[in-house]
């Protein structure tokens, strides 16, 4: 299985760290649950279900792209996914503020999986990984047994990076920084995120 | 334009909000009871170091007449920092101002000139009714899914009233909030416990029973609202009804604890059919369900019938008529407006089941007509009504009009509007600010007060 060098893996990990940084991807919810339940353990317990929800969302996109990659030529696939990303960025910009809220502070672990899955999916987290996934699926020529381990590895690398950063920030905020950081340090991640989606989409389209 | 850091008026927790800078402006709903002139949002200078302190420094007239401005609120507030649905870079910038009588909703932009906000959008009654299924919009709360509006009636002016959602950026109406309303029919106030995923609503009555004044037969028949409704905030389903008993009429203002980990709140019943007393109830979570218990009862005061309006003569007493309550940000002091007797009471509710009276002032009142230090001894009419507390809990503002048609029933010789301010001690005790007495323009009457940057009934918090 040829996998086109190290950079796609580094990109997957780097994007995982970027996703983990975003308060809307989980660290903030973990902190809130810890504060509500007065328990550091609640912060820790929130992390695995969030990682699982994120991973499922990413998995659906990764396997879809790989499956498409097996039946569609690289060029139109690049162009199509690029266009989808740009549209997703526009949608996120215009309507990202009006999603139904389905999970609240009394949630259990299953609710956290659902919440994380919905957040990652609505934010287009998986789509953002497409450029990094492309070379990987190009490296596994036939859909089926050969590509499955690659997809698993890709989702695994990305999710572990997300989880590591989510957990790190959650505990740094819970243990040391406190809530004041929300007022000072909460930069406009929606703006960064929209930019990242649009830039990825444009890059894909232009390199098609 | 998007902002890079969160709106500085958003606070993660009530403890942090208490450290907010003092408000310098108050926005006050101001309506013409004769419906000849446009209603307005009045801007009152509340900065003690200002040359125009305690004066109306701006007036934004509505484009129509007869709206009856009543309650209003901000498009966005501290709940935007909630972890499950964060929108931290929204701006607290627009006032959402409904006409309770007209069902028209005005959007005012306060950013360019906070003293002279501009009307940027008007949602006409037909649009409100068509898109929401409701009319008579009342309470406005910024919350997790946008702007929540409690409305008292459906499109035909009948039951059920309910809650609808507005987009907090475009102000488009997104539609009815409830998915399953269960037995709920009457509506009035709405608020929630963000930490317990619970929304609460209360009950007044249908437009036919208040738009021309309270109807004595309906009241004495126990037909006005007397229930609390609890809902799953995210599933939007009715989960529980608590009946305070038909004798406890008009269940109004919902004041859940600001600390999101606390599962209790306070609500007032305006008048009891048993003895014209008024009551405050604490609702609380117990054994996996909500419960409510009466914690304060304020008796009616015997009075000479000659001094009473026709509606009260037969009772030979003046009811306290508690029409508004408000809870300080630290959940420690509950302010109780007795619109009938003229008392504004402060209770220490550190123990929410055992309130202790901590302070009282009296101004106006059906019989007492008590004066104010700055009113040169003149008797005042109306009584303490809509109360608002500064975030640090040190200043309390209130106005004296309830609702045009009901003003005339308790104060038939007329009601001259005023707005006053109390200074509150750190550990309780209240006194009039002798320099703060705003005589309202004779053509209008003041109702709800909103403070610049947020107050004790505007924001809700996700973090303790």
Kindly report the CATH number assigned to the domain that includes residue B134: 2.130.10.10
Q: What is the mean pLDDT of residues B4-21?
A: 96
Q: Is the pLDDT of residue B144 over 50?
A: yes
How distant is the Cα of B381 from the closest Cα of chain A, in angstroms? 44
> How far apart (Å, rounded) are the C-alpha atoms in residues B292 and B248?
13
- Say how many C-beta atoms besides its own lie within 10 A of residue A44's C-beta: 15
B14 in contact with chain A, both atoms CB, cutoff 8 A: no
CB contact under 8 A, B168 and A97: yes
pTM assigned to the model:
0.96
Q: In this structure, is residue B187 part of a structural domain?
A: yes
What ranges make up the beta strands (E) of B349-386?
356-362
- Contact status, residue A180 vs residue A172, Cβ threshold 8 Å: no
Question: Which of A35, A180, A190 is facing B464, going by the closest CB pair?
Answer: A35
Q: In this structure, is residue B392 part of a structural domain?
A: yes
Any idea which residue has 């499950």 for tokens? B84
Number of domains in chain B: 1
Any idea which residue has 């929410």 for tokens? B352
| Nearby residues of B225 by Cβ (< 8 Å), 6 or more positions away | B186, B188, B202, B203, B204, B205, B249, B250, B251
> How far apart (Å, rounded) are the C-alpha atoms in residues B167 and A78?
35
B239 in contact with chain A, both atoms CB, cutoff 8 A: no
Could you report the average pLDDT of every consecutive run of 10 residues in chain A (208 residues)? 72 96 95 97 98 97 83 86 91 83 95 96 91 74 64 94 98 96 90 91 84
Give the pLDDT confidence of B228-255 residue by residue, as tens digits.
999 999 999 999 999 999 999 999 999 9
Question: Which of B16, B83, B464 is facing A28, going by the closest CB pair?
Answer: B83
Rg of the Cα atoms in chain A? 17
Q: What is the mean pLDDT of residues B139-143?
A: 97
Q: In this structure, is residue B132 part of a structural domain?
A: yes
Q: In this structure, is residue B154 part of a structural domain?
A: yes
CB contact under 8 A, A183 and B12: yes
> How far apart (Å, rounded) are the C-alpha atoms in residues A139 and B71?
63
> How far apart (Å, rounded) are the C-alpha atoms in residues A91 and A128?
14
How distant is the Cα of A32 from the closest Cα of chain B, in angstroms? 6
Q: In this structure, is residue B462 part of a structural domain?
A: no
Query: Residue B391 — pLDDT band, cuts 50, 70, 90?
Result: very high
CB contact under 8 A, B16 and A180: yes
Alpha-helical (H) ranges within A22-108 are: 27-37, 40-71, 74-95
Kindly identify which residue of chain B lies nearest to residue A97, measuring between CA atoms. B87
> How far apart (Å, rounded) are the C-alpha atoms in residues B309 and B328?
34
CB contact under 8 A, A106 and B197: yes
Q: What is the ipTM of this complex?
A: 0.93
Q: In this structure, is residue B8 part of a structural domain?
A: no
How distant is the Cα of A74 from the closest Cα of chain B, in angstroms? 37
Residues in B touching A180 (Cβ below 8 Å): 16
> How far apart (Å, rounded) are the C-alpha atoms in residues B254 and B182?
20
Question: Which of B11, B233, B463 is facing A32, going by the closest CB pair?
Answer: B463
Q: In this structure, is residue B459 part of a structural domain?
A: no
Q: In this structure, is residue B251 part of a structural domain?
A: yes
Residues in A touching B3 (Cβ below 8 Å): 188
Kindly state the percentage of chain B with pLDDT values over 90.
Answer: 99
Give the pLDDT confidence of B325-372 residue by residue, as tens digits.
999 999 999 999 999 999 999 999 999 999 999 999 999 999 999 999
Amino acid A78: pLDDT: 86
Amino acid B83: pLDDT: 96
B179 in contact with chain A, both atoms CB, cutoff 8 A: no
B236 in contact with chain A, both atoms CB, cutoff 8 A: no
How distant is the Cα of B194 from the closest Cα of chain A, in angstroms? 7
Tell me which residue range forms the domain holding B45: 14-451
CA distances from B360 to A152, A176, B328, B352, B418 (A): 69, 43, 16, 19, 18
Give the pLDDT confidence of A42-54 residue by residue, as tens digits.
999 999 999 999 9
How distant is the Cα of B101 from the closest Cα of chain A, in angstroms? 29
CA distances from B292 to B79, B182, B229, B260, B280 (A): 26, 19, 11, 18, 10
Mean pLDDT of chain B: 97
Amino acid A1: pLDDT: 40
């Amino acid at each position: 299985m040829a996998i086109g060098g190290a950079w796609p893996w580094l990109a997957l990990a780097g994007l995982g760290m970027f996703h983990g940084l975003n308060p809307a991807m989980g660290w903030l919810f973990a902190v809130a649950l810890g504060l509500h339940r007065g328990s550091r353990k609640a912060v820790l317990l929130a992390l695995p279900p969030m990682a699982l929800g994120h991973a499922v969302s990413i998995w659906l996109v990764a396997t879809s792209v790989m499956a498409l990659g097996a039946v569609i030529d690289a060029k139109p696939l690049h162009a199509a996914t690029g266009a989808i990303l740009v549209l997703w960025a526009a949608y996120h910009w215009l309507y990202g503020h009006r999603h139904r809220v389905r999970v609240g502070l009394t949630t259990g672990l299953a609710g956290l999986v659902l919440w994380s899955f919905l957040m990652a999916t609505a934010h287009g987290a998986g789509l953002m990984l497409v450029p990094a996934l492309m070379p990987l699926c190009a490296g596994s020529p036939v859909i089926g047994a050969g590509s499955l381990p690659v997809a698993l590895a890709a989702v695994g690398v990305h999710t572990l990076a997300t989880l590591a950063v989510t957990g790190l920030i959650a505990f740094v905020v819970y243990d040391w920084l406190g809530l004041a950081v929300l007022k000072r340090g909460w930069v406009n991640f929606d703006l960064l995120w929209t930019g990242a989606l649009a830039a990825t989409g444009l890059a894909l389209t232009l390199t098609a | 334009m998007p902002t890079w850091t969160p709106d500085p008026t958003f606070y993660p927790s009530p403890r942090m909000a208490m450290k907010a800078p003092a408000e310098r402006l108050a926005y006050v709903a101001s309506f013409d009871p004769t419906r000849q002139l446009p209603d307005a949002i009045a801007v009152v200078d509340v900065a003690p170091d200002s040359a125009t302190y305690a004066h109306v420094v701006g007036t934004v007239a509505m484009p129509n007449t007869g709206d009856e401005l009543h309650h209003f609120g901000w498009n966005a507030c501290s709940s935007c920092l909630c972890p499950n649905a964060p929108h931290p870079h929204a701006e607290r910038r627009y006032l959402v101002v409904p006409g309770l009588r007209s069902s028209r909703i005005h959007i005012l932009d306060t950013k360019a000139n906070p003293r002279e906000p501009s009307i940027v959008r008007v949602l006409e009654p037909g649009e409100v009714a068509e898109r929401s299924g409701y009319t008579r919009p009342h309470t406005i709360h910024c919350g997790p899914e946008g702007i929540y509006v409690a409305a008292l009636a459906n499109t035909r002016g009948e039951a059920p009233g309910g809650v609808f959602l507005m987009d907090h950026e475009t102000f488009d109406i997104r539609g009815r909030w409830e998915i399953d309303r269960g037995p709920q029919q009457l509506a009035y106030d709405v608020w929630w416990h963000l930490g317990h995923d619970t929304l609460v609503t209360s009950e007044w009555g249908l437009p036919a029973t208040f738009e021309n004044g309270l109807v004595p037969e309906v009241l004495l028949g126990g037909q006005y609202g007397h229930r609390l409704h609890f809902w799953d905030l995210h599933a939007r389903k009715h989960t529980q009804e608590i009946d305070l008993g038909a004798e406890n009429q008009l269940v109004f203002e919902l004041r859940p604890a600001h600390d999101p980990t606390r599962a209790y709140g306070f609500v007032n019943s305006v008048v009891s059919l048993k003895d014209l007393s008024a009551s405050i109830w604490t609702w609380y979570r117990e054994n996996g369900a909500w419960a409510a218990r009466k914690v304060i009862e304020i008796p009616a005061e015997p009075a000479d019938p000659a001094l009473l309006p026709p509606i009260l003569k037969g009772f030979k007493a003046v009811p306290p008529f508690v029409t508004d309550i408000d809870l300080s940000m630290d959940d420690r002091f509950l302010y109780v407006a007795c619109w009938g007797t003229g008392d504004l009471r402060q209770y220490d509710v550190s123990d929410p089941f055992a309130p202790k009276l901590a302070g009282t002032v009296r101004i106006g009142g059906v019989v007492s007509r008590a004066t104010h230090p700055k009113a040169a001894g003149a008797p005042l009419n109306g009584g303490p009504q809509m109360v608002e507390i500064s975030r640090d809990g040190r200043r309390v503002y209130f106005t004296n009009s309830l609702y045009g048609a009901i003003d005339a029933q308790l104060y038939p010789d007329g009601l001259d509007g005023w707005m006053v301010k109390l200074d509150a001690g750190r550990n309780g005790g209240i006194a009039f600010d002798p320099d703060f007495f705003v005589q309202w323009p004779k053509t209008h009457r003041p109702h709800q007060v909103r403070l610049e940057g947020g107050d004790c009934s505007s924001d809700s918090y996700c973090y303790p």
